[in-house]
Structure 1
Amino acid sequence: MPNSFKTSKSNHQTACFQDNRLLKAISAEVRERIYPHLKLTELPLGAVLYESGDVMESVYFPTNSIVSMLYVMADGRSAEISVVGYEGVVGIALFMGGLSTPSRAVVQSAGQAYRLESKFLKTEFALNGEFHHLLLRYTQALITQMAQTVACNRHHSIDQQLCRWLLLSMDRLKGEDLYMTQELIANMLGVRREGVTEAAGKLQSAGVIEYRRGHIQVLDRPKLEHLCCECYAVVKKETDRLFEEFSYPPGGLLHRLKD
C-alpha cells in the first residue's frame, strides 16, 4: 500500500514543489513547518493509494499525476466520483475526521506527488490557520465535482460524459494529451467499453480528438467544451471561484481572508 511506493531519491526542488497548486498557495511560514516532512513519491499507473475502508496514513499532493476516486460495487464494477491532479490533494478523510472512506484511490495517469504523513498534516490542520482554511476550500470544490459527476452520470449521454471526463482530466494535467485505454475510461465512467469506443470515434471523426493506442490528443478544445454538457462548466466555475482566493501575498491566504 502507500509505504510500498518509491520515494524520489532527488532532493526537493522548488519548481516541482510549486507544481501543486495547494502547496504553492501557502505562505513561507507554513511552508517552513511542513516542507521538511514532504516526500516526493513516484505514483505508477494503476497504483492503489488506498482501498475502501483503509485507515489512511498519508495524503498526497500530485504534481504531474492524476488520481481517480472510485466506488467499487460488490460485483467488481466501478465508477469514478472525482479526479484529483495538480490542483488538489488526495485523502481528505484524514483532515475531515473520518480517517477512512468507502472509495478507492487509483492512479489514473502516472507521475509524482508529495506525500505528507497524517501526524504532520493533523498538527498543521489543528492550528486552525491558513492551511486549515486552504484545505477546507479545496474540499468544497471537490464536493462540487462529486455532486456534479453523480448528476452527469444519471442524466447525460455517454458522449457528454466522455467530454466532461476529458476536460476535467486535462485541467488536472496542464496539457492536451492523455494516456488512457478505452477500457480504463469505461471503468472510470462506469459504462460499457463499446459505448466509450463509439463516443471516442465520434469525437475523432469530428476532428476534436486524435486517439491512437491509448494516447488521446485534444485537437479542438473549444469544440470539445461546446459538445460537453453543462457539468464541466459548473465544476470549473466553482473551482475557479474558490481558487481565486489562493493568491500568494506575503501574509498567505489567511491574511487575505481577514482583510
Structure 2
Amino acid sequence: MPVSKDSGRSENQLLAALPAQEYERLVPHLEKVALNNHQVLYEPFEPIDFVYFPVQGVVSLLYTMEDGSTVEVGIVGAEGMVGIPVILGGIKTTNQALVQVPGSAMRLKASVLKSEFERAGVLQTLLLRYAQALLSLASQSAACNRLHTLEERLARWLLLVQNRLQSDELPLTQEYISQMLGTRRSGVTVAAGTLQEAGIISYKRGKITILNQENLEATACECYRVITREFGRLLNADHG
C-alpha cells in the first residue's frame, strides 16, 4: 500500500525523528504492511531484502539452536527497526525475526535504506545509535539470563513488551514466553503464578494484563532499568 507523507511517520520513533527532507526521500519507497501473528520477517543466514519500521505490534529477534530451542536476543516495537544488519555491512544474520504481537509496519527495500544511510545524514546517526541500543539489550539480556531469577526475568521481559506495545494487555501465552526466555514452560507457569497471586498481573486465555506497574517494576531486576535508560539516552539524544 503506497503511503502519504505522514502515514506511519509519527507512529515510529525513528521515522518521526527524521528531518522532512530525508523522510520525503523515503516516502516513495515506503509501503505499509500488516505484521501477522508469528510471521517470519527474515530467516537466519538468508539475505535481508526488506527492513521494517513497526508502527504497531512487536517483533522478536530469536537465536535458534541446533536442537530447535530458541531464546530472544532482541525485541523491536515502534521505537525501532527490524533489519539492522543491513546498515552494518552485512545482508545476513544468525537471527530470525518473528512477529510476537501482530500489528503493522512501514516496509522499505534494504537497498533503498542502505543508499540513504550512506548519505551520512540524520538517518545514519539514528540507526547507529539504535544499533548500539540493540547491542546493549542483547548484552544485558545475556547477563540477566545467567544471573537473575526467572521471576525477575519475566517481570523485566513483560515490561519491555509493554513499553513497545504501549498497552497493559499483552496477547501472550506462557508457552511462547518460555521460548522467548529460553526456559521451560513449567518455570514460567510458577513465576507467572507468583506475580498473579501478588496482584501484579492477571493471566487468562493467552492474555496477560499488567495490573500494578509499580510493583512489576519493583519485581524486575536491575536490567530493565539499565536497558530503558540506555534506549532513552541513545534515542532521545541530540542528532547533531
- List gaps (5 residues or longer) in structure 1: 1-8, 247-252
Aligned residue for 2:143, secondary structure, equals helix
Alignment-derived partner of residue 60 in structure 1: 52
1:26 lines up with 2:32 in the alignment: no
The worse-fitting range, judged by mean Cα deviation, of 14-23 and 220-229 is: 14-23
Alignment-derived partner of residue 44 in structure 1: 36
Following TM superposition, the consecutive aligned residue runs of length 4 or more in structure 1 with deviations greater than 3 angstroms are 9-13
TM superposition shift of 1:17 = 2.4
Number of equivalences? 240
Alpha-carbon spacing, 1:229–1:86, altered in 2? closer, same or farther (3 Å): same
Aligned residue for 2:108, secondary structure, equals strand
Alignment-derived partner of residue 119 in structure 1: 111
1:131 lines up with 2:123 in the alignment: yes
TM superposition shift of 1:14 = 2.8
1:99 lines up with 2:91 in the alignment: yes
TM superposition shift of 1:15 = 5.7
Question: Matched residues in 2 for 1:132 and 1:65: separation?
Answer: 24
> Are 1:45 and 1:108, in contact at CA under 8 Å, matched by a contact in 2?
yes
1:78 lines up with 2:81 in the alignment: no
User: Per-residue CA shift, 1:84-113, capped at 9, x if unaligned?
Assistant: 000000011111111110011100000001
Q: Which amino acid is the alignment partner of residue 57 of structure 1?
A: D
Task: Compute the RMSD of aligned alpha carbons.
Answer: 1.2
- List gaps (5 residues or longer) in structure 2: none
TM-score (norm 2): 0.97
Alignment-derived partner of residue 100 in structure 2: 108
Choose from 210, 213, 228 the match for 1:221. Answer: 213
Taking only the aligned residue pairs, the percentage that are identical comes to 45
Alpha-carbon spacing, 1:55–1:83, altered in 2? closer, same or farther (3 Å): same
